[in-house]
Amino acid sequence: MKKRVLFLYNGGTIGQVPEERDGQIVLVPPKDSKIFQIACEPAIEKVKKDMEVVFEFVTAKDSSNMTPNDWEKLIFRVKKAQDEEGYDGVAIAHGTDTLAYTATALSLALHGKDPGKSGLRIPVCLTGSQNPIYEPGGDGRFNLENLFRTLDEAIRIGVADVLVNFWDKVLLGCRALKLSEKRFDAFQSPSYPDVGSIDSNGVHLKKNLVKMKVDAQEKINLAPKFGRGVIGFELAPGIDPNVVLGFITNGGVSAMIFKSLGEGNVCSEGQYNLLPVIKQATEEYLVPIFITTKFPGGSAVATHYETGLAAIKAGGIPCYDHTDVAVDVKVRWLLGNGIAANIADFREAMKTNYAGEVASLS
């Protein structure tokens, strides 16, 4: 029997078209989704022998305009595709700027809040591109063709996880990061092995690095909500503690993320000392402060340096080897689904591996 795949067009560069504005050629979302659908037909034609692909328009907007509301729509659409419509997999074309955020949100929401008890039973794969599908010599058509090839192989071997294919790599969705605006290999997985590769012999997936259908629960238990009031600070020399504290004291902040220098290091002396802010935020205002790293492949464990250890002792929550994208999405997810209600809960949750987003900790 042919595999049935739902193909969702969710905007981004891959489907954008050139248009002249004020004497300059710029890429804009297509006014009619049929334009992109028709452009995809040659790629879909190549897999028609053993795959039925059903195209569905979601949005044509640029991915920089994506919000958690868009994540929720995709989450419920995937659930319906699996539970009600009997699809064997879901393919998603997405803009690259926020693709990693969406992939992480899908991973957490679809696998659910009970570690090891995922009810996702089909593969979901996202891709995007640096060039539109119409551009000769670009990566749009290449990545689109490999989107279906990746899903074909994932369905064949029984993968039940959220993946990202980009150029010659297949990555775990909640571990992917965009690291370049120009390179064709723009997406990497700095803190987790690639879960697959793509070469002239096909798509090669590593079953030991992804969740499998054979281990899935009979019922999918979604955790599809994302909280508000999460704010991040990229730490740099001279960040004013009073400015940081002002965000908290003015209200509306549910959680704050420090993207630290190194593996959790935070300024701890002089007028820019942030330790009192961490202590006051966590003890007086009960606002959790998460300590992650802005360096790809880093791990904010805060064990090697005095400045990192001091931040944790002051009340900061270490984020281990999550990507900074995964920290942002996961904190929203923990808030939205009521998984963490206090700082102790958040501290435990950041050590917990729900969807493969962090190395399992004993």
pLDDT digits 0-9 by tens, 283-301: 999 999 999 988 877 676 6
Fold (topology level) of 3-215 = Rossmann fold (3.40.50)
φ/ψ of 97, rounded to 5, equals: -60, -40
Global pTM reads 0.95
Q: Coil, helix or strand for 14?
A: helix
- Which residues are CB-contacts of 3 (< 8 A; sequence separation ≥ 6)? 50, 51, 52, 88, 89, 151, 152, 155
Mean pLDDT for 53-81 is 96
Please tell me whether residue 197 adopts helix, strand or coil conformation.
strand
CATH 3.40.50.40 in the chain, residues? 230-349
- The model's pLDDT over 303-336, given as tens digits with 9 standing for 90+, comes to 555 556 888 999 999 999 999 999 999 999 999 9
Q: Which fold has domain 230-349?
A: Rossmann fold (3.40.50)
Answer positive or negative: Cα dihedral of 47, 50, 56, 61. Answer: negative
DSSP per-residue letters across 106-131:
HHHHHH-SSTT-----S-EEEE--SS
At residue 309, the pLDDT reads 82
Residue appearing with tokens 């089909």:
122
Q: How far apart are CA 68 and CA 76, in angstroms?
A: 13
So what's the pLDDT on residue 362?
46
Q: What is the pLDDT of residue 305?
A: 54
Polymer length of the chain: 362
pLDDT digits (tens, 9 = 90+) for 173-218: 999 999 999 999 999 999 999 999 999 999 999 999 999 999 999 9
Q: What is the pLDDT of residue 170?
A: 98
**pLDDT surpassing 90 at residue 32:** no
Residue 344: pLDDT over 60: yes
Q: What is the pLDDT of residue 57?
A: 95
114 close to 31: Cβ distance less than 8 angstroms: no
Yes or no: say if 62 and 11 are a contact pair by the CB < 8 Å rule: yes
pLDDT digits (tens, 9 = 90+) for 6-27: 999 999 999 998 888 888 888 8
From CA 362, how far away is CA 350, in angstroms rounded?
13
Residue owning tokens 């700095």: 190
Q: Looking at the chain, which runs of residues are DSSP E strands?
A: 3-10, 17-21, 24-28, 51-59, 89-94, 124-127, 162-166, 169-172, 177-178, 187-188, 196-199, 202-205, 230-234, 255-260, 289-293, 317-318
Residue 163 has pLDDT above 90, yes or no: yes
pLDDT at residue number 166: 98
Residue range(s) occupied by CATH 3.40.50.1170 in the chain: 3-215
The helix (H) or strand (E) run that includes residue 274 is none
Q: What is the mean pLDDT of the chain?
A: 93
> 4 to each of 1, 89, 207, how far by Cα in Å?
9, 7, 21
